[in-house]
Amino acid sequence: MMITGKTKVLAVIGNPVAHSLSPVFHNAAIRKAGIDYVYTAFPVDNNRLGEAIAGMKAMGISGLNVTIPHKEQVMKYLDHIDKDAEILGAVNTIVNRAGVLTGYNTDVKGFLSGMRQIGYAPKGKRALLLGAGGAARAIIWGLIQEGVASLTIGVRNVPKVRPLVDYFRKYMEISLLDWSTPAFDEALGQAQLLVNATPLGMYPHVDAMPPVNWDKVPKGILAYDIIYTPAETLFLKTAKDHGCHTLNGENMLVGQGAEALRLWTGIEPDIQVMTEALRHALENK
């Protein structure tokens, strides 16, 4: 596809951002849809974020993804904030509509999209979340919106995570447990959905995983790891060997990207094309 003066520009901003795979799978979807857009990456220094957003308006950039460390700080430069982004306190997608900038957070829809793609519905299920890392807020809010029957969070440091749990308790009662206790083992025995939101097992530390007593985990439940490098973490391999269904973070990453493309362009992106482009890029890294 030829880039001309009419081509609309999309990009990801962050610091650093050269490692981002977003251009790979977004441009694959853009080519497949045959629309006149291009997606690139702009490194933005921490102290120049306001200038970057003013530049977005000045140059008519159609949309931006926002990654670390700008997701929270960028909110003050925008005209409107979507409800999900407001509740999560972070924006990862900006849409420019005739100079009016609206901030969204597509992580929730990305997390849920992962399960939807394999035909799994969390509604009415007993969910157990391991860890409270960067993606935990989106996961908690997504599970609340989907209507899980119960939500338990197992962590290493309960006092540190309590403010996060208290924040969401107005929407749903949430149990917060130390994952080294018998009470956590008991919760494992009741779980129907087990989600790893810790970085344990992510490349290069592939021999790590959360401390799960697999003897307590019911067979046949879904084990969902939001990590996608490696494609099969030790957590997922162990879960599969135990008899669980498994899902990695690949669908979540592609799902949040697909939602951003819907917001920017109005198209229904080809998820399969995006996933294949991501896999190819990961294999060749």
Over residues 244-270, the mean pLDDT reads: 96
- Per-residue pLDDT tens digits for 25-55: 999 999 999 999 999 999 999 999 999 999 9
Q: Which long-range contacts (CB under 8 A, 24 or more apart) does 242-246 make?
A: 242/214, 242/217, 243/219, 244/194, 244/217, 244/219, 244/220, 245/118, 245/120, 245/220, 245/221, 246/222
- Per-residue pLDDT tens digits for 130-150: 999 778 999 999 999 999 999
Residue 133: predicted pLDDT? 79
Structure token pair of residue 156: 């290493």
Distance CA 177, CA 15 (A): 34
Distance CA 10, CA 210 (A): 37
Beta bridge partners of 63: 10, 95
Q: What is the DSSP letter of 29?
A: H
Distance CA 145, CA 164 (A): 17
Q: What are phi and psi of 246, to 5 degrees?
A: -130, 155
Nearest Cα to Cα of residue 248 among 284, 279, 204, 217? 279
Q: Are 252 and 221 in contact (CB under 8 A)?
A: no
Residue 98: predicted pLDDT? 95
pLDDT at 1 over 80: no
Structure token pair of residue 94: 């900006």
Distance CA 134, CA 13 (A): 18
Q: Are 148 and 126 in contact (CB under 8 A)?
A: yes
Q: What are phi and psi of 277, to 5 degrees?
A: -65, -40
Residue 134: predicted pLDDT? 77
For the annotated catalytic residues, the residue numbers are 71
pTM of the model: 0.93
Q: What percent of the chain has pLDDT over 70?
A: 100
Phi-psi region of 119 (alpha: psi -120 to 50; beta: other; left: phi over 0): left
> Domains in the chain and their CATH numbers?
8-105+251-283 (3.40.50.10860), 109-248 (3.40.50.720)
Q: Give me the sign of the Cα torsion angle 162, 166, 171, 175.
A: positive
Q: How confident is the model at residue 273 (pLDDT cuts 50, 70, 90)?
A: very high
Over residues 195-206, the mean pLDDT reads: 94
> Worst-scoring range by mean pLDDT, 81-85, 158-162, 202-206, 217-221?
202-206
